[in-house]
Structure 1
């Protein structure tokens, strides 16, 4: 059972999401919140697996709420088999597919985003994917969003130093991930198993102290490991 917290300041949208999720098999709605502050409190109380997080809300916005929720969860969550805390997964809800708040949320540790016109089946698939540790949007969409962001933004000064902690293979896997390849395609290109790809990505995120695959993609672009406009080959 996937435990979901729904956060949106618009009552009708929130109520619609809650009704849809309550009718879906394998999903339990553990709470709902109308703003960021309520979301932080509700997440601490209900310990959801996935949080559907609106971004533009009065008071505390979704980005700040995401940072607070994940930071507080680190201190209390039991460790996963990989040795890192088992944190809730945050799916950003937004009206626009190129929204500066979305990029900020990815930096904060969100696992991806949904547009508010997403269909019911896609929403349920996304929740399942994120609950299983994946990013919810397609690799091609990831590449388009990150490249669009990097082309407009100044480099971030506190980016981890040149990825020096990574092995050559870890850098290679990170590079292909940032270029938009799925784990399956990376495995095929490098002649390794999907499980090995996941292991390399998990070690990369641990070494760079990253909370999600989305953050790993951002780091790859910011450090110059991948140049905007480059292809996956």
Structure 2
């Protein structure tokens, strides 16, 4: 049974989510503070996290960033804030999707399932142009590897943690070296056509990836910008 951690301080919304998801055969644990959310991350070990953006002891974006330092578990942020800036801030902090309140519970379930499908399938997908190593990583000619079990990038034998979206983008690059991807193609590959993400969010993910894998992010060797089109990976 899929474990869902709901971090929501509004008792009405929290109870509504708990009841609905339980009826839909999810194993739900709900907490109402960031502190309890961090505790539940270790002890409940969720498969997916629903995170309210406004909590009494921390902002959702700050907590999202803390989660990302410890886990690659998918995070869907829920919030009354609908401004593009708030969405970009949450995604930049590591959120995998953003849903504005009030929202349809059916839509929430659909987005959760979409993220979970990508997560559960990622460990068995084989990068087309990579070689399988004996240690379980997928290596490209550049020496950069993808550890498909831990969902990390390996650079010079160092495991580098990524967000869900960063890993999916890097996996796509390794699968198709030298192919130019438009921002729209990256959006559809990472999110699917039903989830929120835009060109600016893709640029943020690329910037973060360059900081993690490039020796000089300002003069990238591996992830190249193709002006007016998008990005490509050079191995």
Aligned to 1:118: 103
User: Hey, what's the Cα distance between the residues in 2 that align with 1:171 and 1:215?
Assistant: 20
Greater relative CO (CA pairs within 8 A, separation 6+) = 1
Where in structure 2 are the equivalents of 1:155-170 lying within 5 Å? 169=177
Q: Deviations over 1:206-230 (max 9, x none)?
A: xxxxxxxx96453458996576xx8
Q: Deviations over 1:113-171 (max 9, x none)?
A: 1122221211111111111237xxxxxxxxxxxxxxxxxxxxxxxxxxxx9xx688466
If the length of structure 2 is used for normalisation, what is the TM-score?
Answer: 0.55
Distance (whole Å) between structure 2 residues aligned to residue 120 and residue 51 of structure 1 = 15
Question: Which of structure 1's runs of 4+ aligned residues deviate more than 6 A?
Answer: 221-224
Contact 1:51 1:90 in 2 (8 A): yes
For these two proteins, the number of residue pairs brought into alignment is 154
> Could you give the per-residue CA deviations for residues 77-101 of structure 1, whole angstroms, max 9, x where no partner exists?
xxxxxxxxxx211000011332533
Cα 1:216–1:34 shift into 2, 3 Å: same
Unaligned runs of 5+ in 1: 74-86, 135-162, 186-213
C-alpha RMSD of the superposition: 3.3
- The answer for the alignment partner of 2:70 in structure 1 is 72
Q: State the alpha-carbon separation in 2 of the partners of residues 219 and 91 from structure 1.
A: 16
SS at match of 2:180: helix
Q: Which residue of 2 aligns with 1:51?
A: 49
Matching residue of 1:28:
27
**Normalised by the size of structure 1, how large is the TM-score?**
0.56
Structure 2 CA distance, aligned partners of 1:20 and 1:45?
A: 23
In terms of fraction of residues, the more helix-rich structure is 1
Instruction: In structure 2, list runs of 5 or more residues that go unmatched.
Output: 120-169, 193-199, 209-223, 231-235
* Alpha-carbon distance in structure 2 between the residues aligned to 1:119 and 1:91: 14
User: Which structure carries more strand by proportion?
Assistant: 2
